[in-house]
Amino acid sequence: MYVIGERINGMFENVKRAIQRKDAKVIQDLAKQQLTAGATALDVNVGPAAADAEGAMLWLAEAIRGVTDAPLSIDTAKWDVMCAVVSKIPGAKILNSSKADPEIARQYVALAVEYGAALIGLTIDSGGVPGNAEKRVELGAQFITIAMEGGLAMDKLFIDPIILPVNVAPQNPAHCMQAIAQLRLFADPAPHLLIGLSNVSQRCSNRSLINRAYLAMAMAQGMDGAIMDPLDEELMNTAITADLLNGKIIYCDSYLEAARHV
Amino acid sequence: MYVIGERINGMFENVKRAIQRKDAKVIQDLAKQQLTAGATALDVNVGPAAADAEGAMLWLAEAIRGVTDAPLSIDTAKWDVMCAVVSKIPGAKILNSSKADPEIARQYVALAVEYGAALIGLTIDSGGVPGNAEKRVELGAQFITIAMEGGLAMDKLFIDPIILPVNVAPQNPAHCMQAIAQLRLFADPAPHLLIGLSNVSQRCSNRSLINRAYLAMAMAQGMDGAIMDPLDEELMNTAITADLLNGKIIYCDSYLEAARHV
């Protein structure tokens, strides 16, 4: 399971303050904590309030690179910000994210290939978030084709079916699972299938429970990546246990600890 | 989700003692507690130590019928015990269980039809527990055919793919999920797909965590029934949440409480 830690995001008050005060230690602690807890990569998002998105992204990346070489998921919806920072951030990178419109997807694929980065491709286009599984599969398959044509290896492509909150879109979590189950069959080797997990429970009660249950359910369908909170210990335990029950790791009494130190 | 409470089983010390002492209140309390917690039906198993299995089963059933009309899952591997008690236990019943050998399955189907009972059909035959998903699907499909020929409606058939402990059979939980996903497509309407959940974590550490994760994963694949412990509150919460995320119930802030009072 490829866990991208979600905690370095300017929508969190502590990160927002750290960006404003240039307090690198707050960011570096969050980076180390998430990696120790089992994250493989770290999402980096300056948040909606950052006045200088490019400068804030570069400062965050520099702070994080002071303590780890883990892949950084450059999380911005702005193409110009992505282009400006990608060449300046050293080490492994994930471009997060591109929509599936062909002309947009081709640009992102080319950028990812140029910098040896991975790419998160959303099953959303200018028509908005699909209302069913079929349209997600169609857009995901289109993204896979564009990636192949552009020379991006499948192990560097993460398809994200776009999960919506279950209180707003009751059938959406089921649609995303169906899309995951189908999209993993579209190429061999398959691309990664990933979701922004916390979104499923936005503004719900029992958020951690909903996140845990959906993580296990989506992993049963073939999801092998998530942007999520690795500091939620029970959530990480669920991810590791789902890998166990999918037959991907072998049981020992201390399997939870063992998996965190791989 | 069709939850069959597992707690009235002679392998538990309190139930074993209650059977020996004819202490009906212990059994009745367990029945009421499980139903209040969200169970739909109650498994009844006299345990391996009961000298008079038939007498003990009838006493348990009579005690339970003193407090509820909920369906009782008559849990015995002995054909003669099943035959002897089925006519004497009033109300809704589930015969638990039959192997898939055609001559055995036909007998159980006929018995279930005669008494208007439901039936749990195992994907196991005289060849033992299948080592892969394919053989489970083959035996499950065979059972579905025999049930149809014998006049047992699909909503009265529970196919059980036989879950083994993950510490003993590492690939078995994944095989069972694959079998569930395929078997639910074999008839329309589909039979119920059910597992004896606790078995997946026998002699494992983190039993409750493993049970919760597997419950959610198997429900994502279409499992709609389980013999499980409804008194494990987090496990029941996971079952309800998986129904929510499968789009089977609609979110409200108190969805956990609401689902228990349906």
CB pairs under 8 A between A and B: 102
The answer, yes or no, to whether ipTM is higher than 0.85 is yes
* Minimum distance, in Å, between the CA of residue B167 and any CA atom of chain A: 5
For residue B70, list its beta bridge partners: none
Residues of B in contact with A167 (CB under 8 A): 251
**Exposed, middle or buried, A124 (CB in 10 Å: 0-12/13-18/19+)?**
buried
Nearest CA in chain B to A242: B213
Task: Say yes or no: B242 contacts chain A, CB-CB below 8 A.
Answer: yes
| Amino acid occupying residue A185 | L
Burial of A208 (0-12, 13-18, 19+ CB in 10 A): middle
Omega prior to B97 cis, within 30 of 0 = yes
pLDDT tens string B104-162: 999 999 999 999 999 999 999 999 999 999 999 999 999 999 999 999 999 999 999 99
**Per-residue DSSP letter, B4:** E
Q: Is A237 on the interface with B (CB under 8 A)?
A: yes
Q: Does A219 touch chain B (CB under 8 A)?
A: yes
> How high is the mean pLDDT of chain A?
96
Owner of token pair 């329309």 = B188
Give the mutation candidate from A172, A204, A244 for the B interface (greatest B CB count, under 10 A): A244
| B210 vs A: CB within 8 A | yes
**The one-letter amino acid at A87:** S
Give the CB-side neighbour count of residue B197, counting CA atoms within 13 A.
34
Mutate to test the interface with A, among B221, B245, B253 (most CBs of A within 10 A): B245
- Contact (CB<8Å) B213/A242: yes
Token pair in block for residue B18: 């209650």
Using CB atoms, which residue from A173, A216, A250 is nearest to B213? A216
Percentages helix, strand, coil for chain A (3-state, rounded to 5) are 50, 15, 35
What confidence category does residue B260 fall into, taking pLDDT thresholds of 50, 70 and 90?
confident
Q: Which residue of chain B comes nearest to A168, CA vs CA?
A: B251
The two beta strands, B93-98 and A118-122, are: unpaired
Beta pairing partners, A228: A5
Of the candidates B174, B210, B245, which has its C-beta nearest A173's C-beta? Answer: B245
- The alpha-carbon gap from B213 to the nearest alpha carbon of chain A, in Å, equals 6
Q: pLDDT (tens digit, 9 = 90+) per residue, A48-105?
A: 877 899 999 999 999 999 999 999 999 999 999 999 999 999 999 999 999 999 999 9
Q: Which of B163, B211, B251, B252 to mutate to test the interface with A (most CBs of A within 10 A)?
A: B251
Region at B65 (left for phi over 0; alpha for psi -120 to 50; beta for the rest): alpha
Give the largest CA-CA distance in chain B: 50
Rg (CA), chain B: 18
Taking the model in full, what pTM does it have?
A: 0.96
